[in-house]
Structure 1
């Protein structure tokens, strides 16, 4: 008989958290509690709680009875305008959760932390590629690093372990997420098509030709549970990607073909600017095709898309460490985009 585990998924409604919950629900031996500010609709496998993670007293009040937690999966994120401003709230949320759960959950086994390539300085400019988990750090501030340091120090002398997952840009279909590239591309393509325009890559010209990797949210969920339940992964970080590389100059025309559009040469157009006035057009498209009436700001991640499309340098990591320890899942990136676009259509988010 398999051991019963209870997962606390922090950031349950995001691209990462929602896919992690779906994966955990596929197992018979997991109970799941999802935390987010918005809460959610509970079912037989998952109970959702609405918690303000920034407020220590709210965390204490809402989490003090969760004595059966065996695994914390931390994927929450608080957006701020500058890198320095990201540190305090994102570190505080992690501390608030861990402090309460560690105190009340006698059988806590593992804390899983979601990171990213910011650990390698990828957000600052050209960085060493392929990035490896052993690469040296960079000048702070960087909340991903501070969060890991907190777990390292907190774990000393404890029976639980931690792991840190480092995906690339994550591909998924969750709405209301400030970092959903796939959804942003789909909405951008849909609006371009409605205006009778070809699909142009809107980023920096140099970004069109550089090597990138990406991480499917479903694959990341599998890797996260794998790392959290295998002793050989204890107290380590892992790069997790689809396993292949791509260039926009090859993939972008194929995306245009998926949407039955012509591709045109790149033109650097900040999406935050050119898409700012398209809410009314989006509502017209929703009405015409009978789409779900999601608000325009729920389906657009223009700032994040501009950020990704500005990377005029190679952006990828080395995933061998996880493979050598036994995680052999992979995803064809081109097929991932088609799969996720199909999901958005099935959910009546795009026509």
Structure 2
């Protein structure tokens, strides 16, 4: 997919997608390659590491870029291949379980990207920045301090009106410095004023469900499947890994192909210039029903906790449970297929705080897509089905064993 860029004059839009190994970036590329060439004539993709996907579409060209390098170095890398770019999609993200460090990496990451595309892409029309509405928190084990980030609306710091809407005022109290999305949006507005030529969109998804061949720390689908499949292999009953208060929690979700659909749609609509849009699937989940839905998919029985009183202690520590299970996973792969190297303890650590948020959130943690609907976006996805679709994508890719063999 690498090589000399075409010298012909583009007859359609040219996309530049960062973070192509990530869930959202991968979904945007998948969305774009399903469009006609007359609409998108070239799709330039980038990541820090070599691509895990093998897109055969000849419009796709890959360039390896580390956006933590100085902008002038990045400009030299992209000034030829990206000279015709019209639409730039930024989904890159540096993850750390120490959320206090996220701003130190992710703000320069985006700032360098902005400086580079503003300089090297004279035909640029639109930039899309993906931020988020999903809350993330981590309890510092050495103190009572909670590290928080990755939630635009400041739900972790205040009793906010719900569902969240795009024009909700920013949170400016203690801890607001951890919400690095504010700085990213301000940087985008600042750089936009240099030439005052291109426009932007901000897309704010909730908890993301989807497929990527890169095993990253923010993807819950793979460790969820491994938990159920290993329990099945060992004859164990899959316990609910959260506390019982969260067993009854209501939340909305964002399916990656749907995020891609909204992102590309918004950035190609003239009336959506310089607008932010929340993303959800348009429905919601109740975690106790999700747990039963997942159990049915993997052909196992799970206990019901509906009649038990709420308590804050988790029913199971997934990270502790995962210790020593790698050999069991390898045995499953040898018998049924899949990839042994996709078993990573970091995924179970992520699930731990996903099912056990230490924040005392009393209001439903939900966002609204009413604004996107008013602007004309109409897609709707079933969130329960999105999990099954994501499992099936990993099975089709040979990363997870085919679930049909277990039924």
Where on the TM-score scale, by shorter chain, does this alignment land: which range? over 0.9
Q: 2:380 — aligned with what?
A: 330
Which SS does the other structure have where 1:200 is aligned?
coil
Q: Does 1:308 align with 2:354?
A: yes
Aligned partner of 2:199 among 161, 165, 176: 161
Distance 1:304 1:230 in 2: 36
Distance 1:99 1:16 in 2: 22
Distance 1:275 1:124 in 2: 32
Q: 2:154 — aligned with what?
A: 121
The answer to whether the 8 A contact 1:67-1:101 is kept is no
Distance 1:302 1:265 in 2: 22
* CA spacing shift, 1:345–1:125, aligned 2, 3 Å: farther
* CA spacing shift, 1:21–1:62, aligned 2, 3 Å: same
* CA spacing shift, 1:13–1:126, aligned 2, 3 Å: farther
Aligned partner of 1:144 among 176, 181, 193: 181
Bigger radius of gyration = 2
Q: Does 1:13 align with 2:21?
A: yes
Aligned partner of 1:241 among 253, 269, 280: 280
- Give unpaired runs (5+ residues) of structure 2: 1-9, 134-150, 306-313, 402-407
Which SS does the other structure have where 2:341 is aligned?
coil
* CA spacing shift, 1:204–1:231, aligned 2, 3 Å: same
Q: 1:224 — aligned with what?
A: 263
Distance 1:141 1:295 in 2: 30
Distance 2:396 2:86 in 1: 35
Q: 2:117 — aligned with what?
A: 101
The answer to whether the 8 A contact 2:47-2:64 is kept is yes
* CA spacing shift, 1:295–1:339, aligned 2, 3 Å: closer
Q: Does 1:281 align with 2:336?
A: no
Instruction: State the 1:91 CA deviation.
Output: 1.2
Distance 2:271 2:386 in 1: 29
The answer to whether the 8 A contact 1:187-1:300 is kept is no
Q: 2:43 — aligned with what?
A: 32
Q: 1:320 — aligned with what?
A: 370
TM-score, normalised with respect to structure 2:
0.81
Q: 1:63 — aligned with what?
A: 78
Q: Does 1:171 align with 2:171?
A: no
Instruction: State the 1:161 CA deviation.
Output: 0.5
Instruction: State the 1:235 CA deviation.
Output: 1.2
TM-score, normalised with respect to structure 1:
0.93
